[in-house]
Amino acid sequence: MTHSHASSAAALLDWYQAMGVDEAIEDTSVDWFARTEKPRPVAKTPPAREFPQNQPSPSEPRPGFASIAPDEAVMDARERAANAKTLEELERSLSQFDGCALKATAKKMCFKRGSDTARVMLIGEGPGRDEDLQGLPFVGRAGQLLDKMLGAISLTEDDVYITNIVYWRPPGNRTPSAQEVQACLPFLNRQAELLNPEFLVLIGGPASLNLLGTKQGITKIRGTWRTCEIGGKTRRAMPMLHPAYLLRTPAAKRLAWRDLLTLKAALGAKE
């Protein structure tokens, strides 16, 4: 392959990734440049497609999503969340909630990972590809780095509770919209109320922005204790750089280490 062809192919792959295409449909690759057969003629009047009864056509959204207005979705979320008496009930109620449009394109819901009695609750942005496949938050490359970071201050999965501000993967790993966050926020509030952690760690800019209401960037507010109104209580919360950012910017790991030491000191002071 010539240099120009390689550059074109790389640009095409970058475009596919930006559009959210991150899975191969076939097990074997197809060299479309080597295909020589002529394209089939397109019929001028294609026959009407038939769909099973009570099933939407591909051009229609899945039932239960587009028909729910944002305010109705939030009201439904609040009612469902308030009625949940345990974290297990809350997870079950969330799985039946259709008010967040992200559910229509995601494979699995990612509710939490970790201990239901943890002192530390970590809240990130949203599930990625690996999380969407496994149904657990922070299990991909960024999650593996997060586990190593926590391990550096002697914390394991049994010591923390990990979730996100949205429970379904945004297409193409884009930032969740304000409407998507608002639909999930009542569940997150109830999640924090039922867990009742001593400390919150807000991972990345979107989590910090939505939960602290600040307009400052994550690099300016990271590593400092703030107050966060969540779960009917004022809690201590520390913004921290997202592990995905650290993978792209290894030099910033020294800042993350300082933040981890800040968390470790707070945990030690409470013991």
pLDDT digits (tens, 9 = 90+) for 90-108: 999 999 999 999 999 999 9
Return phi, psi of residue 77, to 5°.
Answer: -60, -45
Does residue 80 fall inside a structural domain?
A: yes
> Could you read off the pLDDT of 25-48 as tens digits, one per residue?
444 554 544 544 444 444 444 444
Sign of CA dihedral 234, 235, 238, 242: negative
Does residue 59 fall inside a structural domain?
A: no
Q: Provide the CB-side half-sphere exposure for 61 (13 A, CA).
A: 13
> Six-digit token pair at 191?
């999640």
The span from the CA of 62 to the CA of 132, in Å, is 18
pLDDT classification of 271: cutoffs 50, 70, 90? low
> Which residue, 106, 79, 225, 227, is CA-closest to 164?
106
Does residue 181 fall inside a structural domain?
A: yes
The span from the CA of 67 to the CA of 60, in Å, is 11
Q: In whole angstroms, how far apart are CA 19 and each of 9, 24, 167, 188, 229?
A: 15, 14, 21, 28, 35
The DSSP secondary-structure symbol of 100 reads S
The span from the CA of 35 to the CA of 97, in Å, is 46
Domain count, the chain: 1
> Could you read off the pLDDT of 143-182 as tens digits, one per residue?
999 999 999 999 999 999 999 999 999 999 999 999 999 9
The residue range of the domain holding 75 is 70-270
* CATH number of the domain bearing residue 247: 3.40.470.10
pLDDT at 14: 60
Does residue 86 fall inside a structural domain?
A: yes
Does residue 220 fall inside a structural domain?
A: yes
How far apart are the two ends of the chain, measured CA to CA in Å? Answer: 62
The CA-based diameter of the chain, rounded to the nearest angstrom, is 76
Q: In whole angstroms, how far apart are CA 47 and each of 12, 43, 50, 56, 203?
A: 33, 9, 9, 18, 52
Q: What is the pTM of this model?
A: 0.77
> Six-digit token pair at 76?
């439904």
Mean per-residue pLDDT for 47-61?
39
CB 213 within 8 A of CB 250: no
Cβ within 8 Å of residue 33, ≥6 positions away: none
Does residue 116 fall inside a structural domain?
A: yes
For the chain, how many residues are written?
271
Does residue 250 fall inside a structural domain?
A: yes
pLDDT at 6: 57
pLDDT classification of 269: cutoffs 50, 70, 90? confident
Does residue 30 fall inside a structural domain?
A: no
> Which residue, 237, 250, 80, 63, is CA-closest to 149?
250
